[in-house]
Amino acid sequence: MATGVQRANQVTLADLKGRVDPDWCPGCGDFGVLAAIQKGLVELQIPNHNVVAISGIGCSSNLPGFINTYGMHTLHGRALAVATGLKLANHDLTVLVTGGDGDGFGIGGNHFVHTMRRNVDLLYIVMDNQIYGLTTGQTSPTSRIGMKTKSMPFGNIEAPVNPMSLALAAGATFVARGFSGDQKHLTDLIKRGIEHKGFSFLDVFSPCVTYNHDNTYQWYRPRVKKLEDDPTYDATDWTAAMEKSLLWGDEIPIGRFFERTDVPTLHGAEPVLNEGPLVHGDLRVPPDAARAFIEELM
Amino acid sequence: MKQTFAIAIGGAAGQGVATPGDIFAKIFSRRGLTLNAYNAYQSIIRGGHTLLTIRTGPEPVTNMGDRIDLLIPLNQDTMDRHLKLLTSGASCLYNADTIKPGVAADGVQLCPLPVSELADISRNKVAQNTLAIGAGLHMMGIGFPALEEVLREQFKKKGESVVAENIGVARAGYDYAARHFTAFPNPLPKTEKRYAVLSGNIAMAMGGAAAGVKFYCAYPMSPSTGVLHWMAAHARKAGIMVRQVEDEIGVINMAIGAAHAGVRAMCATSGGGFALMSEGLGMSAMIETPVVVIDCQRAGPSTGVPTKTEQGDLWQMLGAAFGDYPRVIAAPLDIADCFKLIPEMFNLVDRFQCPGLVLCDLLLSEGRLGVDPEDLDFNPVIDRGELITSVNGNGASDVIATNGGYKRYRITESGISPRAVPGVPGHIHTAATDEHMEDGVLISDEFTNPIKRRAMMEKRMRKVAGIEAAVAPPKLRGPRDAEVTLIGWGSTKGVIEEACEILNEQGICANQLQIRWLVPLHGEAILELLRNARHTIIVENNYSGQFARYLRSETSFVPDGNIRKYDGEPFMPHHIVEAVKEQLGGKTNLSVPVHEIMV
């Protein structure tokens, strides 16, 4: 996302504190994600008026209201489509899209796939808690088989989506996974995702302490293994990333799975934007072009 | 009666109906004649039956009319279907090698062309079409150079030998007609005017470009796809970002995202795609980010008849998205208006920060009209309303700063709150689809607040009065004390106008009330106009009388009668004329004219 990054002096955590405090349940994983985003923006020193946080609907999608940047709290599942339009209209802005697993992989699944293949230059953070929280505990697209919820009281019989494999297959140019319980590592991934030129996907294990009693902090802690701790792991190797994406169980990899920098961003590939962001351009069609448009009809 | 001349060219899809149509259209418009073209076709790439009607004349021609003067059937099917439509004075030009004529009415001239004698059909697969163009031109009394010029342009990319070949074949047809066929009694006139020939889709796309649209996105859907095609082909010269999106849900959300960043954003679709956009319109209204959506109506419900026209989406528009919110809905009256309406719509939605819906239909979207190029004004008034951007130095930001902090949804008398776009320092806020306070903070979650909810609802809805004041009420066309008043909306303007002219010639004084702005409707003004009307009839292209029901719901007005058509084809003037007579004679108060052209 480096094109949009504008560095300035003196961006502090206080600048990024939202007008209201988060209303998430005490202990919710999303607090850790919000804090890591704020830290990442401070460390990158991006002025808050040049950042737009865009979300869909759900517990985690309330995040734009809790951070002092420009924000859009859109419709359930539609944040990526809105973000694509916004980024194309003003590619100088740093765009963060935040939401949950139901929002992104369920109702928004179509936009998820297409935004990745377009390589829209933004960071998409999914606070993945494997449950629908705001609707009080139903099965989500990432709920594991057997998980009992209000909507599947006898246990889920549908295979979960694998966001990491899906992102790799759909052509995401930056694919990473974090854990809300590891702030420093998560902050680092957010920074790298913002700096990546292209679509950055960051799936974050963000435990729901109220409705998901299977995938808790205690469940994750012994399982998550940082890819960064393995010196032989090569994040430019797509096949290796795909193999890592399939691991689940006693060992669950987190970290930067994959990154490639040779694919143009959507806004970079479009010559109409050569003159700069659309929002700063002249509204009028050049007179000679207008004349030619009419002439071809005569 | 208007002096017009109508050609109908029919054949299977893929047989090359479009090219002769384009050639005739060019010749007519360069002769200073206006024209209206309507193509009846089906959802098939090869095969089926296509009938293109081009009606031309020195005065404005607004619809396909009632009469075919020259029929050019390119296959037997077309001959069998349409020869019977021809009446005395008309002619039929056809390939004598492959097509057998049926029985023609008295006074109809059958003009067989011995195609294999006149052209080398092994070399030129569409020789019959080119011969017919040449022959037809002679019969209309137009000199050959007009055709030669157009053929040169048409084929120049294919090289001089192809140009020469086609001119040779056309000449053979022209000369053959001179020797064997009787020309039409009145040669087509010539005027000093010049016309641009364009479809409603091109007009709306160009109108968007003129309005300063910088972002256009769409999912292909007939009959709206022409807007996407023009936008895509001209995007780079016009400086417009054009995207094809995965579905219409993505389309509306992407357009709103772009609009929220501060550009003018537009999208077009048809009824099915519009249904998917519904939730997005609510977002546009709630976050107060303006967007313009075009719905090119086709015959529904569901997939319906994708290539046929209807005015069946009015209630979908009126009811799109849940909850109450300000919106603007307008139906362009003709193809020139398709252009003109878009900048007007953008000025309104920018001022009032709400969604704007353009209710077009297949008849205008895919029909073509000769339009005075002066009417395609690329310098319309652009009013972006109370918009604060980092680049325009809008003084509004200073005022707000001294008033103690920016509130995106500030409660004002007009309901309009100055809109800052992301990137402007000092104006940070979150735009939320949840109900929110003046500063954008949600009131929907932790502590809902009935007082604040009511205040925000009233703030948004106050814009309705402003919108109404910004739009002129409709006017009656024709004598006030007419015997019958015909009420229509949108694309039926031209055909109702012509029906009124015919009725007046036949001694029945008729006037017309054509509605362009559906929301705001100006119900009081309409009631005032209709109060003293002697006999009122609503004319519309749908089954249930959607406009009649809407007018009644807004004004309690019930017309004396209705004329409705829902067979997929547009009204012809005589449909309306005959129905009016039937209703004035007291035979019925609901007429459903039968479309006699089998397409």
For chain A, 298 residues long, the average pLDDT of each consecutive 10-residue run is: 53 95 96 98 96 97 97 98 98 98 98 98 98 96 97 97 98 98 98 98 97 96 98 98 97 98 97 95 95 96
What pLDDT, on the 0 to 100 scale, is given for residue A201? Answer: 98
Residue pointed to by tokens 């293994």 = A225
What pLDDT, on the 0 to 100 scale, is given for residue B404? Answer: 53
What pLDDT, on the 0 to 100 scale, is given for residue B122? Answer: 82
Domains of chain B with CATH codes:
5-180 (3.40.920.10), 197-375 (3.40.50.970), 387-468 (no CATH), 476-591 (3.40.50.920)
Chain A partners within 8 Å of B239 (Cβ): 272, 275, 278, 281-282, 285-286
Size of interface A-B (CB pairs under 8 A): 211
How many Cβ atoms sit within 10 Å of the Cβ of residue B480? 10
- Taking 90 as the threshold, does the pLDDT of residue B396 lie above it? no
How many Cβ atoms sit within 10 Å of the Cβ of residue A131? 28
- Taking 50 as the threshold, does the pLDDT of residue B90 lie above it? yes
Chain A partners within 8 Å of B425 (Cβ): 47, 49
Q: Which helix (H) or strand (E) holds B402?
A: helix B396-402
What pLDDT, on the 0 to 100 scale, is given for residue A5? Answer: 52
Of the candidates A50, A72, A284, which has its C-beta nearest B260's C-beta?
Answer: A72
Q: Do A111 and B287 touch (CB under 8 A)?
A: no
Chain A partners within 8 Å of B442 (Cβ): 20, 62, 65, 73
What pLDDT, on the 0 to 100 scale, is given for residue B43? Answer: 82
**CA atoms of B62 and B212, how far apart (whole Å):** 28
Q: Tell me the average pLDDT across B263-281.
A: 98
- Taking 50 as the threshold, does the pLDDT of residue B401 lie above it? no
Q: What is the ipTM of this complex?
A: 0.97
What's the pLDDT tens digit per position in B357-373? 999 999 999 999 999 99
Chain B partners within 8 Å of A278 (Cβ): 214-215, 239, 241, 258, 261, 263
Q: Is-contact A94 A51, C-beta < 8 A?
A: yes
What pLDDT, on the 0 to 100 scale, is given for residue B18? Answer: 87
Residue B1's pLDDT band, with cuts at 50, 70 and 90, is: low
What pLDDT, on the 0 to 100 scale, is given for residue A170? Answer: 98
Residue B188's pLDDT band, with cuts at 50, 70 and 90, is: very high
Of the candidates B194, B209, B421, which has its C-beta nearest A285's C-beta?
Answer: B209
Q: Is-contact B166 B130, C-beta < 8 A?
A: yes
Across all residues in chain B, what is the average pLDDT?
95
Chain B partners within 8 Å of A58 (Cβ): none
C-alpha angle with apex B293: B292 to B298, nearest 5 degrees? 155
Q: Tell me the average pLDDT across B147-176.
A: 95
Residue B397's pLDDT band, with cuts at 50, 70 and 90, is: very low
Q: Which domain holds residue A87?
A: 2-295
Closest-CA residue of chain A to B33 = A298
Interface probe, candidates B35, B149, B253, chain A, greatest A C-beta count within 10 A: B253
Q: Tell me the average pLDDT across B513-537.
A: 97
Q: Tell me the average pLDDT across B161-181.
A: 96
Closest-CA residue of chain B to A282 = B212
Q: Do B261 and A65 touch (CB under 8 A)?
A: no
What amino acid is encoded at B362 in this protein?
Answer: L
Chain A partners within 8 Å of B30 (Cβ): 298
What pLDDT, on the 0 to 100 scale, is given for residue B395? Answer: 42
Quote the number of domains for chain A.
1
What's the pLDDT tens digit per position in A37-55? 999 999 999 999 999 999 9
What pLDDT, on the 0 to 100 scale, is given for residue B402? Answer: 42
Task: Please tell me whether the peptide bond between B112 and the residue prior to it is cis, using omega within 30 degrees of 0.
Answer: no
Q: Which helix (H) or strand (E) holds B149?
A: helix B144-155
- Taking 60 as the threshold, does the pLDDT of residue B325 lie above it? yes
Name the minimum distance, in Å, from the CA of B598 to any CA of chain A.
Answer: 31
Distances (CA, A) of B218 to A140, B167, B196, B226: 30, 40, 26, 11
What's the pLDDT tens digit per position in B199-235? 999 999 999 999 999 999 999 999 999 999 999 999 9
Residue B498's pLDDT band, with cuts at 50, 70 and 90, is: very high
Q: Tell me the average pLDDT across B17-45.
A: 92
Q: B29 — alpha (psi -120 to 50), left (phi > 0) or beta?
A: alpha
What pLDDT, on the 0 to 100 scale, is given for residue B391? Answer: 41
Task: Provide the CATH number for the domain around residue A71.
Answer: 3.40.50.970
